[in-house]
């Protein structure tokens, strides 16, 4: 990205491909580390995470710290032909960038995730320096994911009693339907879908909870879709979570109202049966993540004889400390 302060060609470019990404993938990944010696002596890595939106961050892996005001950084998502679909640069306070609204990525899925692969381009310029070399690095991360889709017919739907209970564990047997799920891996932990009708003063709504008992540190995403007798979508919700070895519950509350279902029983409740299409993905981790190719000035190890030149006077500047605080991202 060319500006009045930066040259058209970046001093350093890092291309990172993440494979086996699907619409259900819980996005939270760290790139292989690198050192672009011509630009910075710090050991860096990229981080991409789905919070409310999809954000990218440049982070330092060692004690050497760069001022965001000393470096221009740009993140982009690339199309299959290598052209940038979206690009954003950092400000002077942080290397953290909100790159893309999640809804946009879903709407343009074929563009951003071509062949189940997300490609991130990171470019870096050292401000106020003339660097004749142009360095590149290519890295690849492969995910191990398991996917499953199935139809869950809720028979005798009209016999299901509603409840005002806030916790599904307090529901009576005739107030809930349970669908135990088979494990994807050998790590044994209980997973299940629990359906119930939640009642308030105005309406009765279909709710589904996806329960994952503790024991794993996986990323889970689940999509629950209500379909009619023709397979057409009536309502749908998508939720995701990372377990961190704890029990987790994904709540699909107010999925659809009971009144809407009974308004057209023949279409929405054929033979008194509610039809749910369930899609589940579990990301158990990264199979491999490595730098595949780079120019000679790029490595994944900091050379011991290199010392980062830091403007010591700047370290006493209040703005400097503010920059460091603003750069931190809580995980």
Residue 138 has pLDDT above 80, yes or no: yes
In a domain, 296, yes or no: no
In a domain, 16, yes or no: yes
Same domain, 41 and 110: yes
In a domain, 5, yes or no: no
pTM reported for the whole predicted model: 0.66
Scan for tokens 């809720």, then name that residue: 154
Q: Residue 64 in contact with residue 308, Cβ under 8 Å?
A: yes
pLDDT of 323? 34
* Mean pLDDT, range 126-145, rounded to an integer: 86
Domain end position, chosen among 78, 109, 133: 133
In a domain, 329, yes or no: no
What domain count does the chain have?
2
Q: Residue 28 in contact with residue 49, Cβ under 8 Å?
A: yes
Domain end position, chosen among 85, 109, 133: 133
Residue scoring higher pLDDT (56 or 150): 150
pLDDT of 104? 74
The pLDDT tens digits for 2-28 are 444 444 678 899 999 999 988 778 778
The pLDDT tens digits for 173-207 are 999 999 999 888 776 688 999 999 999 988 999 99
pLDDT of 284? 84
CA pair distance 313, 150, nearest whole angstrom: 62
**Tokens representing residue 204 in the block:** 């009765």
Scan for tokens 């398991």, then name that residue: 146
Same domain, 121 and 169: no
Same domain, 106 and 228: no
Q: What percent of the chain has pLDDT over 90?
A: 46
Same domain, 103 and 154: no
pLDDT of 108? 84
170 secondary structure, DSSP code: G
Same domain, 160 and 271: yes
CA pair distance 34, 53, nearest whole angstrom: 26
The pLDDT tens digits for 202-214 are 899 999 999 999 8
pLDDT of 328? 31
Residue 314 has pLDDT above 90, yes or no: no
pLDDT of 188? 63
Same domain, 170 and 86: no
Residue scoring higher pLDDT (104 or 281): 281
In a domain, 138, yes or no: no
Same domain, 222 and 257: yes
The pLDDT tens digits for 34-80 are 998 888 888 889 999 876 678 888 888 775 566 556 788 899 999 99
**Residue 310 confidence class, pLDDT cut points 50, 70, 90:** very low
pLDDT of 178? 96
In a domain, 290, yes or no: no
Same domain, 160 and 122: no
Domain end position, chosen among 133, 158, 175: 133
Same domain, 162 and 194: yes
Classified as helix, coil or strand, 136 is: strand
In a domain, 89, yes or no: yes
24-33, 104-113, 236-245, 313-322, range with the lowest pLDDT: 313-322
Same domain, 17 and 94: yes
- Host domain of residue 155: 145-283
CA pair distance 160, 59, nearest whole angstrom: 52
CATH number of the domain encompassing residue 202: 2.60.210.10
Classified as helix, coil or strand, 213 is: coil
pLDDT of 65? 61
Same domain, 51 and 91: yes
pLDDT of 317? 36
**Tokens representing residue 28 in the block:** 């939270």
Same domain, 112 and 149: no
Q: What is the dihedral of CA 308, 314, 317, 319, to 10 degrees?
A: -70
184 secondary structure, DSSP code: S
pLDDT of 228? 97
- What is the residue-wise DSSP string for 35-95? EETTT-SS-EEEEEEESSSEEEEEEESSS----GGGEEEEEEEE-TTS-EEEEEE--TT-S
In a domain, 107, yes or no: yes
Residue scoring higher pLDDT (4 or 320): 4
pLDDT of 4? 46
Measured CA angle at 219 (ends 216, 220), to 5 deg:
100
């Amino acid at each position: 990205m060319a500006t009045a302060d930066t040259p058209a060609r970046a001093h350093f470019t890092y291309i990172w491909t993440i494979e086996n990404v699907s619409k259900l993938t819980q996005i939270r990944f760290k790139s292989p580390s690198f050192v672009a010696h011509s630009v910075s002596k710090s050991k860096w890595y990229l981080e991409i995470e789905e919070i409310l939106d999809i954000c990218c961050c440049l982070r330092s892996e060692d004690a050497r710290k760069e001022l965001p005001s000393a470096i221009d950084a740009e993140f982009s998502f690339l199309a299959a032909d290598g052209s940038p679909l979206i690009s954003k640069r950092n400000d002077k306070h942080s290397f953290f960038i909100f790159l893309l609204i999640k809804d946009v990525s879903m709407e343009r899925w074929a563009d951003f995730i071509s062949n189940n692969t997300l490609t991130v381009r990171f470019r870096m310029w050292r401000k106020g320096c003339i660097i004749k070399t142009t360095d590149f690095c290519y890295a690849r991360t492969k995910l191990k994911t398991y996917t499953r889709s199935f139809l869950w017919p809720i028979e005798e739907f009209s016999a299901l009693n509603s409840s005002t209970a806030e916790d599904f564990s307090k529901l009576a047997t005739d107030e809930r339907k349970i669908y135990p799920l088979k494990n994807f891996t050998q790590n044994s932990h209980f997973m299940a879908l629990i359906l119930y009708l939640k009642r308030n003063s105005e309406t009765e709504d279909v709710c589904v909870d996806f329960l994952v008992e503790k024991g794993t540190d996986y990323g889970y995403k689940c999509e629950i879709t209500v379909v009619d007798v023709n397979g057409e979508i009536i309502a749908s919700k998508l939720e995701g979570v990372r377990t961190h070895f704890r029990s987790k519950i994904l709540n699909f509350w107010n999925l659809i109202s009971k009144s809407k279902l009974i308004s057209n029983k023949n279409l929405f409740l054929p033979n008194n049966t509610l039809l749910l299409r369930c899609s589940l993905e579990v990301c158990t981790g990264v199979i491999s993540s490595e730098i595949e190719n780079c120019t000679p000035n790029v490595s994944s190890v900091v050379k011991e004889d290199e010392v980062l030149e830091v403007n010591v006077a700047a370290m006493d500047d209040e703005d400097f400390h503010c920059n460091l605080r603003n750069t931190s991202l809580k995980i």
